[in-house]
Amino acid sequence: MQKIERLMAIILALKNKKKMTAKELSETFEVDIRTIYRDMQALSEMNVPVVSYPGSEGGYELLDDYFIPPIMFNKDEVFALLLAKKIVDIINIPGYTAFANSAFLKIENIVNECFKKDFEDVQKKIVFDIKSNDINIENSYVFDIVKKALKYNFKIKVSYDEGISSSLVEQIIRPYGIVFEDGIWYIVAFSELSNSKVHLNIERIDSISLLNEVFDSPEDFNMRNYYSTCCFKKAYEDKDSILIKLRIKKNLYPSIKDYVFFKYGEVKEETDSYMIDVKTTKPDFYISLAFRFFNSMEIIEPLWVREKFKDELKELNKTYEIKY
């Protein structure tokens, strides 16, 4: 990226994100911090109203009243956007395919035929190995409801197919975010029914309705951090992850085999059950899961997690004074 292009990109980044540190800018544009300092000096000399704030909460900020004229894309930017179209086509964002196609058509129309041919020749040799499923109208409607709920912190009522004897379970959830994993969209939410976080496959939602009831999002919850450290793919890269062995009866397995947290586990079939090895940094999640499916799921290892489950079971017994 040429300097003049980077300067314009810095202006756009500050306009979009309000305040950014030199480190954030250097990571965004893949240059060292000293280059960013020189760029900021250049912007100042061009009378661009960038304000610098010192301290740990400091950074660079662009004054709100600064006018940015219409932007034209250069060839590399157009190439990157058109290449991204291949990913968007594969992922199929429910309800947004038409909008994405419209946006990319506008981009394609600003380039000449020669560039278009060069791009097509190159993009044919680039493959994105991303799983995806066809999106139907119902999934688009679900996605739209969830988007509104995420924007305004509305609760949602869903009827969900648990996969056990084709049973539907009604529950009220507080949506925290959406995850796309291996071709499937999941809603990450807090379920008021199970009193725990759940991951609901959008394709298994039979019906959904937006409730006129607002909830407070947990201040300590961050979707990106949760995805990186919970039961998902990236947990396998975490040095602090522990290995949990579960025994799942065959009657339960069909209903949980496509849960996002089992996708990267090692599965071994036995006579009447499956043994699943999964890695996680949050073993308490699997303890709550074992309570939920107590008839069909057993924690085998590590022993301390198994013992913790038994201790919680004893406390539950005391609470309800169950006598055998």
pLDDT for residue 118? 80
Which among 308, 203, 194 has a CA at the least distance from the CA of 259? 203
3-state secondary structure of 194: coil
Tokens 């599965």 locate to 267
Query: Domain of 244: which CATH number?
Result: 3.30.70
Residues 6+ apart with CB under 8 A from 101: none
Q: Is the same domain home to 50 and 79? A: no
Distance CA 232, CA 134 (A): 23
Domain shared by 26 and 107, yes or no: no
Q: What's the pLDDT at 164?
A: 55
Q: Which residue has the higher pLDDT, 89 or 39?
A: 39
Task: Tell whether 240 is covered by a domain.
Answer: yes
Q: In this structure, are 240 and 210 located in the same domain?
A: no
Q: What pLDDT does 210 receive?
A: 93
More confident residue, 29 or 66: 29
pLDDT in tens, 202-245: 888 889 999 999 999 888 888 877 766 555 555 566 677 788 99
pLDDT per position as a tens digit, 139-170: 678 888 998 999 899 999 999 887 655 578 89
Rounded distance between C-alpha atoms, residue 159 and residue 209, angstroms: 9
pLDDT given for residue 86 in this prediction = 81
What is the spatial distance between Cα 266 and Cα 280, in angstroms, rounded to a whole number? 13
Kindly state whether residue 224 falls inside one of the protein's structural domains: no
What's the full length of the chain, in residues?
Answer: 324
Q: What are the beta bridge partners of residue 209?
A: 157
**Could you tell me if 168 and 96 lie in one domain?**
no
**What is the C-alpha end-to-end distance of the chain, expressed in Å?**
73
Residue listed under structure tokens 């395919």: 97
Task: Write down the mean pLDDT value for the chain.
Answer: 81
**Domain contains 107:** yes
* Domain contains 259: yes
Q: Is the dihedral of CA 195, 197, 199, 205 positive or negative?
A: positive
For residue 155, give the CATH number of its domain. 2.30.30
Q: What is the pTM of this model?
A: 0.54
Q: According to the model, what pLDDT value does residue 182 have?
A: 65
pLDDT-derived band at 186 (thresholds 50, 70, 90) equals confident
Amino acid identity of residue 279, one-letter, is K
220 within some domain: no
Structure tokens at 280: 């996680």
Q: Is the pLDDT of residue 105 over 80?
A: no
Where in the sequence is the domain holding 251, given as residue range(s)? Answer: 231-320
Determine, yes or no, domain membership for 305: yes
With contact defined as beta carbons under 8 Å apart, do 5 and 74 qualify?
yes
How many domains are there within the chain? Answer: 4
Dig out the tokens for 78 from the structure: 């157009």
pLDDT at 108 over 80: no
pLDDT value at position 213?
A: 93
CB 239 within 8 A of CB 299: no
User: For residue 45, what pLDDT is reported?
Assistant: 87
- Regarding whether 85 and 16 lie in a shared domain, the answer is no
Nearest-CA neighbor of 286 among 306, 266, 314?
306
Q: What is the CATH number of the domain that holds 28?
A: 1.10.10.10
